[in-house]
Amino acid sequence: MIRLAFAVALALISLATPLVAQDSVPNMTSARVLDILLAIDPDTRPTGIGVELTIEDVPVLVIIDPAADRMRAMVSIRALDGMSEADLERVMQANFDSALDARYAIANGRLWGVYIHPLSPLRRDQLISGLGQTVNLALTYGGLFTGGALNFGGGDSAPLQRDLIDRLLEKGQDI
């Protein structure tokens, strides 16, 4: 009886396997990330630890670690000196509800906007959206504190905040 149940379960699994859609998009690589970054900013340049580019006059550092299968896009926003407890609380609130895929982070005495993602499953639109959200964190610091891709609630700000991400996606359409 147990063998029959096992055989039926195995047969069902083998029948279901071909029905699962296969992802035809190849895994993200360092070279593909660089191609996407060059489409966004033709002046993108390698540095000792990553790649630097500029989006909306904001310097962005992208670090890729294929061995760890990770990538990180970072924007330096400000020094921690002078940040009040209320400022720190506000960025933590934004991490919860409006920063979205990008996050505020603290390292080396600075406040950063960061987007961190596993490298191989990363898709073009995710990378571009993450870059836009990270830059938006820097641009909206002290005001809306938003990644710009989505707002919870109504108002007139959402289309303005989404504009940068839409423009970056448009630049990357041919990649």
The answer to whether residue 12 is domain-embedded is no
**Can you say how many angstroms the Cα of residue 154 is from the centroid of all Cα atoms in its chain?**
24
The answer to whether residue 135 is domain-embedded is yes
The answer to whether residue 112 is domain-embedded is yes
The answer to whether residue 142 is domain-embedded is yes
The residue among 102 and 19 whose pLDDT is bigger is 102
**CA distances for 58 relative to 72, 113, 140, 155, angstroms:** 16, 11, 12, 26
Residue with token string 């029959």:
4
The residue among 171 and 74 whose pLDDT is bigger is 74
- Residue 64: the pLDDT is 96
pLDDT over threshold 90, residue 170: no
The answer to whether residue 156 is domain-embedded is yes
Q: Domain residues for 96? A: 25-171
The answer to whether residue 90 is domain-embedded is yes
pLDDT over threshold 80, residue 157: no
Query: Tens digits of per-residue pLDDT, 128-139?
Result: 999 999 999 999
Q: How many domains does the chain have?
A: 1
The answer to whether residue 14 is domain-embedded is no
When pLDDT is averaged across residues 85-101 and rounded to a whole number, the result is: 87
How much of the chain, in percent, has pLDDT values that exceed 90?
A: 57
pLDDT over threshold 80, residue 152: no
Residue 98's pLDDT band (cuts 50, 70, 90): confident
The answer to whether residue 5 is domain-embedded is no
- Give the domain CATH number at 160: 3.30.1460.10
Rounded to two decimals, the pTM is 0.74
